[in-house]
Structure 1
């Protein structure tokens, strides 16, 4: 396919920023998806070792960005389930 090879990029260098932007967008999407899969308290990978993973996040920040830095004195929205 024309435009995807190194020879085509040498003939048409205006395509280089396009490839850089598309590559950066793809890497950002993969990074954010992996971060959601590994850091989000709603996702559990191993139920046997940690049956209630949301309890670990009572005083932690798990949002991508938050202006609040200290979560230790804020009431947690995590539910308390007791059996």
Structure 2
């Protein structure tokens, strides 16, 4: 197919922005999924050292973006199991 090799990409220069945008979108998706897997309290990778990882986040704010607010001084609405 045309546009898949470097030789044909030199002839079809209009495809270069398409490949760049696709690569940036895939890269952003990979970075965000990696962040979710490593930083989210819903994911527990090691249950032997921390059997209840959700308890660490009882008084923490873990949203992607939120206004500055100290959640450590407030009572958490989360139920205690």
Question: With structure 2 as the length reference, what TM-score do the two structures score?
Answer: 0.84
Q: Which of 1 and 2 has higher RCO (CA within 8 Å, sep 6+)?
A: 1
Find runs of 4+ consecutive structure 1 residues off by over 6 angstroms.
Answer: none
Match of 2:39 in 1: 39
Aligned length: 81
User: Cα RMSD over matched residues?
Assistant: 1.6
Query: What corresponds to 1:66 in structure 2?
Result: 66
Give structure 1 stretches of 5+ with no counterpart: none
Q: Which runs of 5+ in 2 are unaligned?
A: none
Q: What residue number does 1:3 align with?
A: 3
CA distance change for structure 1 residues 23 and 77 in 2, over 3 Å: closer, same or farther? Answer: farther
The 2-side partners of 1:36 and 1:47 are apart by 18
Whether the 8 Å CA contact 1:55–1:78 is kept in 2: the answer is: no
8 Å Cα contact 2:2-2:9 kept in structure 1? no
Shift of 1:4: 1.2
* 1:20 alignment partner in structure 2: 20
